[in-house]
Chain A
Amino acid sequence: MTGHGNDLFSQQESNRQKSSWLLMSFVFFFAWLGFGGDIVLYLMSNSPEPGSYQHGLPWLGIAATVLASGLAWSAWKFGPQQVLWSTRAMELITPGTPEQSRLVHVVDEMAIAAGMPRPRIWIVPDEDPNAFATGTDPMHASIAVTEGLLARLDRDELQAVIAHELGHIARYDTRLMTIIAAMVGAIALLSDGVGRVLFQSGRMGANMGRVGTRSLGRAAGRRSSGTGTLLPILLVVWLVSLLVAPLLSRLMAMAISRKREFLADATAAQYTRNPGALIRALRKIDDVRTPTLAVGRGAAHLCIIDPSDRRFQRWSGLTGDLLASHPAVEERVRRLEAMGG
């Protein structure tokens, strides 16, 4: 436990830095999509013919940058609410059943063990056992558990799961992961939208074949002056980055979350001093094969165990590592057993 304070501090710092870095690169990526599109349009419309459209003002780039800044700001500001809202979670304010008051007690206990304020508690109406945490910092944090989790776990196991989620909050994992959740969603939406627009304009282009060939002919005619080679390269790079973005953002979300699961498991063991209970809880949750339908793909990496189809979890090794947002349960159990579970 000696270096614990230092260790936690440096991890908080690294998560804070990664969060800002991520927000900035998100805005830069959108700016690139916008201004890249402007350059492509500029080169395509750069004909000396009077009267034809000349792309001068980079309005695409400006619009994309403004949009991305707005999205980044809202991911920061409303990310946690969006995640909770998307799972249809309801806040638990006054516990009604013995199960609910047990949950409130357990969260209280773990907040004391972690030495932080008690997060808000939410219940997700889903029969599948799972849990996640969200929020930008320990003062504004939320923990959500499914009804299935409350019904299936005993007190110690519930405590271990809550401790794991509080570990994410204490390390500022939730800030980073919530921002990622909001951005994965935004990028997927953008890529779908632009893809549709391109597809439709492609069909329109076929109908207006004459106009299309003429302007392309113009561009081809200018090849001798040097801009001609630049245009196709730019166009290809621009299109590829648009198409690859959703995949890359998903892979990044997964890679970022996997490493953090081991750390949160270790923190849970430190809070409860009972790694055995977390092992039992992980096994119990993992044994239920049905996917947690209430949790969408965007928020998958926030959960204690991958809420989607668990087939990827069973493959360890490279494929499993690349495709799963969480490390294999057996690997997590092995590490917890090494702590004395």
Chain B
Amino acid sequence: MRSLLVLVVVLGLLFWMMSAYNRLIMLKNQVANAWKQIDVQLKRRHDLIPNLVETVKGALSFERETLEAVVQARTRAVSATGVKEVAKAEGELTQALGRLFALTEAYPDLKALGNVSQLQEELTSTENKIAFSRQHYNDVATTYNTVQAQVPTNLMAGLAKASPAELWEIDDPLERGVPKVDISLK
């Protein structure tokens, strides 16, 4: 009778260990996947920028500084490595692009130019995708960090090799909250 009780307890414990371990691993993979998703979107933005610059260059020749700032910020962002550095470089690129968008608002002629409005929609969407993939990464990472710190799952954290995931911090206070660029042509 007693040995049966011990068996039940041991089996229950094993089952709990297994499910806690699996949950941690699942979350870990989700975090890694969410991080990759940000990468994909950033790459997309890097690919779109030369196109945009090429299209508006003629009309904005007198705003050379703004355009160059965008191109330089892009170069820095492409070569950046590590969470902190990438976040910083991408933040600067977002700001440079924001200034360029402000300019296109100031010169209505630009909108009439070829496929500028189409490119704008593409870039708006890409900016949003970056923001949302970052948000998703932070959501998933927060859940992961919480779960691995909570009692009693924290007992399994060592075995699942779980360590707190770094959140994507936003340096610029203006960008905090909802970092969305909306230049849709209403």
A residues near B, CB below 8 A? Answer: 1-2, 4-5, 98, 101-102, 105-106, 108-110, 112-115, 154-156, 270-271, 273-274
Q: What are 10 A-to-B residue pairs whose CB atoms are below 8 Å?
A: A1-B139, A2-B143, A5-B143, A102-B121, A105-B128, A113-B132, A113-B133, A113-B136, A270-B139, A271-B132
In the complex, which of the residues B30, B142, B147 contacts A115, with contact meaning CB atoms closer than 8 Å? B30
Q: Does B177 belong to the interface (CB within 8 Å)? A: yes
Q: Which residues of B contact A105 (CB under 8 A)?
A: 121-122, 124-125, 128
Q: Which residues of B contact A110 (CB under 8 A)?
A: 132
Q: Which residues of B contact A113 (CB under 8 A)?
A: 132-133, 135-136
In the complex, which of the residues A4, A102, A155, A156 contacts B139, with contact meaning CB atoms closer than 8 Å? A4
Indicate the member of B34, B117, B124, B136 with the most A CB atoms within 10 Å: B136
Taking the nearest CB of chain A, how far is it from the CB of B152, in angstroms? Answer: 14
In the complex, which of the residues B118, B132, B142 contacts A109, with contact meaning CB atoms closer than 8 Å? B132
Q: Assess whether A98 is in contact with B118, with CB atoms less than 8 Å apart.
A: yes
Instruction: Report Cα–Cα, A29/B34, bound state, in Å.
Output: 45
Instruction: Report Cα–Cα, A67/B62, bound state, in Å.
Output: 75
Assess A108 versus B140: contact at CB under 8 Å? Given A98-B118, A154-B184: no
Name the residue of chain B whose CB is nearest to the CB of A274. Answer: B178
In the complex, which of the residues A1, A101, A273 contacts B178, with contact meaning CB atoms closer than 8 Å? A273
Within B28-53, the residues touching A (CB, 8 Å) are 30, 33-34, 37, 41
Taking the nearest CB of chain B, how far is it from the CB of A283, in angstroms? Answer: 18
Q: Which residues of A contact B132 (CB under 8 A)?
A: 109-110, 112-113, 271
Taking the nearest CB of chain B, how far is it from the CB of A316, in angstroms? Answer: 31
Assess A2 versus B142: contact at CB under 8 Å? Given A112-B41, A154-B186: yes
Indicate the member of A98, A114, A155, A270 with the most B CB atoms within 10 Å: A155
In the complex, which of the residues B30, B37, B143 contacts A4, with contact meaning CB atoms closer than 8 Å? B143
Q: Which residues of B contact A4 (CB under 8 A)?
A: 139, 143
Interface residues on B, range: 20 to 34
Q: Assess whether B139 is in contact with A101, with CB atoms less than 8 Å apart.
A: no
B residues near A, CB below 8 A? Answer: 27, 30, 33-34, 37, 41, 117-118, 121-122, 124-125, 128-129, 132-133, 135-136, 139-140, 142-143, 146-147, 177-178, 182, 184, 186
Q: Which residues of A contact B30 (CB under 8 A)?
A: 115
Q: Assess whether A109 is in contact with B128, with CB atoms less than 8 Å apart.
A: yes
Q: Assess whether B184 is in contact with A102, with CB atoms less than 8 Å apart.
A: yes
List 5 tightest A-B contacts by C-beta distance, closest first. A105-B125, A113-B132, A5-B143, A155-B184, A109-B128
Q: Assess whether A109 is in contact with B184, with CB atoms less than 8 Å apart.
A: no
Q: Assess whether B133 is in contact with A1, with CB atoms less than 8 Å apart.
A: no
Taking the nearest CB of chain B, how far is it from the CB of A263, in angstroms? Answer: 17
Name the residue of chain B whose CB is nearest to the CB of A106. Answer: B125
Taking the nearest CB of chain A, how far is it from the CB of B123, in angstroms? Answer: 10
Instruction: Report Cα–Cα, A156/B184, bound state, in Å.
Output: 10
Instruction: Report Cα–Cα, A271/B33, bound state, in Å.
Output: 18
Instruction: Report Cα–Cα, A273/B134, bound state, in Å.
Output: 13
Assess A273 versus B128: contact at CB under 8 Å? Given A98-B121, A112-B37, A115-B34: no
Q: Assess whether B136 is in contact with A114, with CB atoms less than 8 Å apart.
A: yes
Instruction: Report Cα–Cα, A96/B125, bound state, in Å.
Output: 17
Q: Assess whether B129 is in contact with A1, with CB atoms less than 8 Å apart.
A: no
Name the residue of chain B whose CB is nearest to the CB of A272. Answer: B178
Instruction: Report Cα–Cα, A44/B149, bound state, in Å.
Output: 69
Q: Assess whether A108 is in contact with B142, with CB atoms less than 8 Å apart.
A: no
